[in-house]
Structure 1
Amino acid sequence: MLSDSSVTTGGIYLEDLTTGDTFASGEHTVDVQQIREFARRFDPQPFHLDEDVARQTLFAGLAASGWQIAAITQKLLVQSVPLAGGLIVTDGKVTLPRPTRPGDVLHVVSTVIDIRPSKSKPDRGIVILQINTLNQEDESCLESVTRGLAFWRNSGIEPAFN
């Protein structure tokens, strides 16, 4: 179980984690302006840019880019899972079970599902997280199983966020 001091100092180390630990983020509200700006810059498809066109697509209305939801998820993860050394993802699988719409209020719940100390690098291990980005109705907008690095306290790695 995590100690309050580990979380408040921004220094969660490998030995602080146990399978089943759960982290909950704050909230992020998605609006039309954010959806359009992200789409213009990074994913310029009509169903992210034009409400009239979007109504005629599979999405039946304006929808945020999956890449935007992944970026918002990352922001909320960094804020809610303050691993010493930062949140360094090595691989994972992402699914987007439903579109994210203007007005959706997102939050992330992540759960440690496995911890594997490294056999070749004694200063670290792999933490496997089940990540769910949920809207205000607790409907899943993004689901991921992600592997990331976590360091032992004696590794010399300092907390990334103080």
Structure 2
Amino acid sequence: MKYLEDYEIGSRASFGRYEVTREEVLEFASKYDPQPFHLSDEAAAQTYFGRISASGWHTCAMTMRMLVDNIEKEKSAGLGSPGLDELRWLKPVYPGDTLRVEAEIIDVRPSRSKPDMGSTHNRLTVFNQHDEPVMTMLSIGLVRRRPAA
């Protein structure tokens, strides 16, 4: 199990592989972000996007999937998250793109009020298959501390 004490400021990780499909882009947009440029080739052609693009919120959801898969792979003692900061969508994500994540730990803090846990602060960048950054954010993860021996 990977506990709070196992995380080091400055450490980096690269993980994930998420293939964006047209069907999923349309399904997500239909349910949660039904703007025309996420649903119609014709409408998207008249915008900055040029063609159907994934909702930024869909990009967040795909990123969350890669984060959870990585947490499970690392066997992290994760406890969820109180939120994120500085979310930016830098480039459109299109059907056919393949996404991946790079993370850097920028802070590790034991909790002042809950001695059995703490938090990691991470700078996340999501890249497409051309190594172009498409999204950045600062995420906060809650993590258990190592139990006393």
TM, length-normalised to structure 1: 0.84
Query: Aligned partners of 1:74, 1:81: CA distance in 2, in Å?
Result: 10
How far 1:101 moved relative to its partner? 0.8
* 2:125 is the counterpart of 1:132: yes
Paired amino acid for 1:146: S
Q: Taking every aligned residue pair, what percent have the same amino acid on both sides? A: 38
SS at match of 2:130: coil
SS at match of 1:33: helix
SS at match of 2:24: helix
Q: In the alignment, which of 132, 136, 142 is matched to residue 143 of structure 1? A: 136
Question: Over residues 88-139 of structure 1, what are the superposed CA-to-partner deviations in whole Å (9 max), with x where a residue is unaligned?
Answer: 1212121101110111100111111110111111111111011111100111
Q: Runs of at least 4 residues of structure 1 off by over 2 A?
A: none
Q: What value does the CA root-mean-square deviation take over the aligned residues? A: 1.4
Question: Over residues 134-155 of structure 1, what are the superposed CA-to-partner deviations in whole Å (9 max), with x where a residue is unaligned?
Answer: 1001111110011121111218
Query: Aligned partners of 2:45, 2:34: CA distance in 1, in Å?
Result: 16
Query: Aligned partners of 1:26, 1:146: CA distance in 2, in Å?
Result: 16
Conservation of the 8 A alpha-carbon contact between 1:24 and 1:80: no
Question: Over residues 48-94 of structure 1, what are the superposed CA-to-partner deviations in whole Å (9 max), with x where a residue is unaligned?
Answer: 011111010122211100110000000101111342144x1212121
TM, length-normalised to structure 2: 0.91
Paired amino acid for 2:6: D
Q: In the alignment, which of 61, 76, 81 is matched to residue 89 of structure 1? A: 81
